[in-house]
Amino acid sequence: MTQRLVVIGNGMAGARTVEEILARNGDFTVTMFGDEPYGNYNRIMLSNLLAGVETEEGIFLNDLAWYSENGITLNAGVKVERIDAKNKTVHDSNGVVTPYDKLIIATGSYSWTPPMKNVHNPKRGYHQGVFAFRTLDDTRGMIRYARDHERAVVIGGGLLGLEAARGLQNHVSHVTLLHAMGHLMERQLDPKAGQMLQASVEGKLGIKVITNAMTTEILGKDRVTGVKLADGTVIECDVVVIAAGIRPNTEMAANSGLPVERGIVVDDQMRVEGQPDIYSVGECAQHRGSLYGLVAPLWDQAKVLADHITGTTDVAYTGSKLSTKLKVAGIDVASMGLIAPEHDTDEVVVYNEPKKGVYKQLIIRDDVLVGAVLVGDNSKAASLIQAFDRGTALPEERAGLIFDIGGPAGEVPPAEMADDAQVCNCNGVSKGAICGAVSAGCKTVSGVMDSTRAGKGCGTCKPLVQRIVEWANGGAAEEDPAASWYVPGVPMPKPELMAAIRKYELKSVSSVFDKLVPGGEHDAKSKMGLASLLKMMWADQYIDERDARFINDRVHGNIQKDGTFSVVPQMKGGVTTPAELKRIAEVAEKYNVPMVKLTGGQRIDLLGVPKEQLPAMWADLDMPSGYAYAKSFRTVKTCVGSDFCRFGVGDSTALGIAIEERYQGLEGPGKMKLAVTGCPRNCAEAYVKDLGVVAIDGGKWEIYVGGAAGAHIRKGDLLVTVDSAEEVIKLTGRFLQYYRENANWLERTYAFVPRIGIDRIREIVIDDADGIASRLDAAVDEAVQSYKDPWKERAEPATPGQFRTSLPLTVLPQVPVRA
Amino acid sequence: MNTLSLTNLGPVTDIPLGEGRTYAVDGDMIAVFRLRNGSLRAVSAVCPHKGGPLADGQIDNSIVVCPLHLFAWDLATGCSQSGQAPISVYPVREDDGQILLGE
Ligand SMILES: Cc1cc2nc3c(=O)[nH]c(=O)nc-3n(C[C@H](O)[C@H](O)[C@H](O)COP(=O)(O)OP(=O)(O)OC[C@H]3O[C@@H](n4cnc5c(N)ncnc54)[C@H](O)[C@@H]3O)c2cc1C
Ligand code: SF4
Ligand code: SF4
Ligand code: FES
């Protein structure tokens, strides 16, 4: 029988456990709760995000589609407050009670703040300018704030602190790292290695490091101006990042009466002690007295838990041997097991070359590797980790363990690696699995990474994955160079492409292929993107080649799964009249429309219309197209507002209609969905629209941009508050034009706004810092002027057979007809 | 190639450059495309994936992309570029402005 599985925590361990359960075809309906308002992302990659070498898009592991495809209910942004183990329910922050048959707690950790004076502001949480480094929101906040500031202090000289310091260098000019202990990464490195790392961090990266530095106070009244150390030293700074360690999130479990020591106590099946139906995995779980703060052990735990919960008996997690192989702040570091000898008989092999910043230490007991530290050269790390994990006897010749003697310099060549040698430690991918993917047809590194997940953890093994893929391919794999191109078939990023289009005055899609693609090769998959770009750039000078349009844009309706189309009459602001309703009803009846549906955008959708009937229906309706297709300005959803609503403070309906009237049909790189709401109660859901307008007291309007509530959920950022409806209309156009010109093909505003940064967008669109505001206004005005109602094409088709059916004769999956 | 008796489908100008149209031939539906380089291609009209109308797809000079789930097939060989079953390919040519299908 299908059981209800509830998972608390949508982080790396929680989501991975669910993946493992799905892979075993576990018979569960899954409900997940995540405190953070996102799908599941790779927390490890936050370091890269901060350092600017990864985008937000790139760090998501499972998008919202994954959840729905697998029938998982995701409660993103919802915190579980209590578990009622007796009644087998969880209670969340919305007051909703969810029953479970099996429960998994994967709440991870929070960033610990050492006691310091003035670190918290009673009103705001952290003092302004002080950040933790744990979540995507932390990282975004840090980047946003650091951009406008100069000097940063990072508190904590462990892995995380080093990554934070390195990343901040990307945004500020001075970074100081304060560490309370005698040497960096004291848990993984011995003093010598720690000093070596410090020398490299200072010398190569220019980060100032102070050890034995106990921070006692954050200085500054409204915002940070510096920090004070125990010895009285004051370090001036305007950004402080705290990376002083983590503590497991166990409060909720403890309050619910579960056994909690340092972490939630679990047995070898990851079952919470004394609870037959509750499990815990990840950083919050305490197993045989140990807590783990790296992902590799969590993956092991997830596998055991998944095996056990899907009915495999005889599985046990017996703990993990910790090893790390990292690029810490750009310097190779590997560490495993002991960092100092424990017995007199322990053998210690040390190699030290301070000038080059290379240090290696091995600890060997009875011919078995029990500890190793490597700094500055990780070439032997993979083989050492393998020897450490497996406990295999080491060769007599110890030097060979830390150097490539006689052989070629660098890492083991792929040809010489054993098939079961583990390449990606985060995801447990072997050389054999990578070669398997290549022989199954994946020829690019990114393709192999997608199909095996190799290199998708911390990313340190990516170069090795690349070399193996190349080797398996006979030496030829390449990273997909097309990643930065605007469309896959024209080898140029958007700005270059636009410049070339302007230079050669290319006004049709085919001319772009002919002129800009070497060999003049046309590419079907690039046509839509180019058509949209050219239309935006040339407005009514654009030469419209119909074959460049997607079928939806050729027949002005949305294609359905059975090859029929939908008809959505325009209904500005969601407002209609009895007469219009009657006409729509009559047309629906006359054409036997199988389904009449209200859409999420407050419009009436007539679904299941054969292509050849479209022109006649449009004529009978005699209403303009409602743009339920195309990458274009869609609808403006409105609430009733001050006209009728008791709470309304602004006439949201009128403003919504005015905006829709002006910008109808405007094309862009992605859909643009808008809303206007009459007060902050937000009945029209304006906070989660590409552009949302909210009436607030005093006749003012707030404009939010970059919101989304589709496959991705994001609350928009407040762009500006203005005094009049006219200003809203004008700034809406200016923002949309800026988006149209600068977004990548299919990049919705929820990705675009964070990529550019709301502050930067405000500078351009509101403060006119770049002096382009009036040009943007003029450009959007020109586009508005060239609007034509596409449904007028009904009288005279644009191409022969434009509305001829393409429907095959075979029986097709039908759109369900409801009585 | 599949055998079909020679049929005149009408003027090539019935198909706009770079687009496709569906024709019913002997109880079968066949999608004929007119590539931007002027040549013609004919394939079965039904997408083998989930029955999508291939003539509504987008093409270039070598492939057609189904409008429903965007899988792609080679117009000359019928082979899928995305691991799907192949589509049937029919001989087609232009003669004196007419589309001639079959041989
Ligand atoms: C910047 C950074 C870099 C790192 N680099 C590395 C690295 O290179 N290698 C490595 O191995 N590890 C690294 N780590 C550590 C690694 O990210 C963690 O070990 C891992 O994410 C832990 O997974 P988890 O699922 O246990 O916890 P998390 O990923 O923290 O997930 C827990 C989730 O549960 C949610 N939650 C908590 N309480 C509740 C509640 N009551 N209701 C609902 N939801 C709740 C939280 O909001 C969170 O989203 C790094 C960590 C950070 C922050
Ligand atoms: S958002 Fe405010 S004004 Fe609009 S319907 Fe809701 S409560 Fe009324
Ligand atoms: S209408 Fe939208 S949300 Fe609904 S099934 Fe289709 S794509 Fe998904
Ligand atoms: S029906 Fe053609 S790709 Fe799915």
Q: What is the DSSP string of A753-817?
A: HHHH-HHHHHHHHTS-TTS-HHHHHHHHHHHHHT---GGGGGSS-SSTTTT-----SS--PPPPP
Chain B residues within an 8 Å CB radius of A561: 50, 68
pLDDT at A711: 66
Q: Is the CB of B93 under 6 A from ligand 4?
A: no
Q: Is the CB of B36 under 6 A from ligand 4?
A: no
pLDDT at A382: 78
Q: Which long-range contacts (CB under 8 A, 24 or more apart) does A141-144 make?
A: A142/A50, A142/A168, A142/A239, A142/A241, A143/A49, A143/A50, A143/A171, A143/A757, A144/A757, A144/A758, A144/A759
pLDDT at A809: 44
B99 φ, ψ to 5°?
-90, 120
pLDDT at A127: 81
Q: How far is B86 from chain A (nearest CA, A)?
A: 17
The residue with tokens 């700094």 is: A375
Tokens of A216: 């006692």
Q: Which of A642, A628, A759, A752 is nearest to A690 (CA)?
A: A752
Q: Which of A522, A801, A813 lies nearest to residue B61, judging by beta carbons? A: A522
CA-CA distance, B17 to B35, in Å (whole number)?
Answer: 6
Q: Which of A561, A611, A806 lies nearest to residue B45, judging by beta carbons? A: A806
CA-CA distance, A292 to A285, in Å (whole number)?
Answer: 8
Helix crossing, A527-538 with A509-516: angle to 10°? 110
CA angle A113, A118, A119 (to 5 degrees): 30
SS3 A709: strand
Q: Which of A662, A666, A654, A704 is nearest to A682 (CA)?
A: A704
User: What single string gives the DSSP state of each residue in A265-314?
Assistant: EE-TTSBBTT-TTEEE-STTEEETTB---SHHHHHHHHHHHHHHHTT--S
* DSSP assignment letter at A356: G
Chain A residues within an 8 Å CB radius of B29: 807-809
- From the candidates B56, B70, B73, B74, which should be mutated to test the interface with A, based on the most A CB atoms within 10 A? B56
* Chain B residues 40-59 with a CB less than 8 Å from chain A: 45-46, 50-59
pLDDT at A342: 83
> Residue ranges of chain A with pLDDT lower than 50?
406-410, 809-815, 818-819
Sequence-ordered list of residues with C-beta below 8 angstroms from that of A675, at least 6 positions apart, any chain: A636, A637, A638, A656, A684, A685, A686, A689, A692, A693
pLDDT at A408: 37
Q: Which of A405, A398, A407 is nearest to A372 (CA)?
A: A398
Asked if B54's CB is within 8 angstroms of A551's CB, the reply is no
Residue B42: how many other CB atoms lie within 10 Å: 26
pLDDT at A411: 54
Q: Is the CB of A492 under 6 A from ligand 1?
A: no
ipTM entry: 0.95
Q: Which of B28, B53, B58 lies nearest to residue A806, judging by beta carbons? A: B53
Asked if B56's CB is within 8 angstroms of A551's CB, the reply is yes
Q: How far is B99 from chain A (nearest CA, A)?
A: 15
CA-CA distance, A277 to A271, in Å (whole number)?
Answer: 7
Q: How far is B47 from chain A (nearest CA, A)?
A: 9
> Residue ranges of chain B with pLDDT lower than 70?
1-3, 82-83
Q: Which residue out of A18, A20, A35 has the highest number of ligand 1 atoms within 8 Å of its CB and is therefore the one to mutate?
A: A35
The answer to whether A479 and A445 are in contact (CB under 8 A) is yes
SS3 A397: coil
Q: Beta strand pairing status for B63-65 and B58-59?
A: antiparallel
CA of A672 to the centre of ligand 2 (A): 22
CB half-sphere exposure, A385, CA atoms < 13 A: 24
CA-CA distance, B103 to B99, in Å (whole number)?
Answer: 12
pLDDT at A781: 94
CA dihedral sign of residues B9, B12, B15, B19? positive
Residue nearest to atom 4 of ligand 4 (CA): B69
Does A814 touch chain B if contact means CB atoms closer than 8 Å?
Answer: no
Q: Is the CB of B4 under 6 A from ligand 4?
A: no
Sequence-ordered list of residues with C-beta below 8 angstroms from that of A312, at least 6 positions apart, any chain: A24
Q: Which of A676, A680, A679 is nearest to A690 (CA)?
A: A676
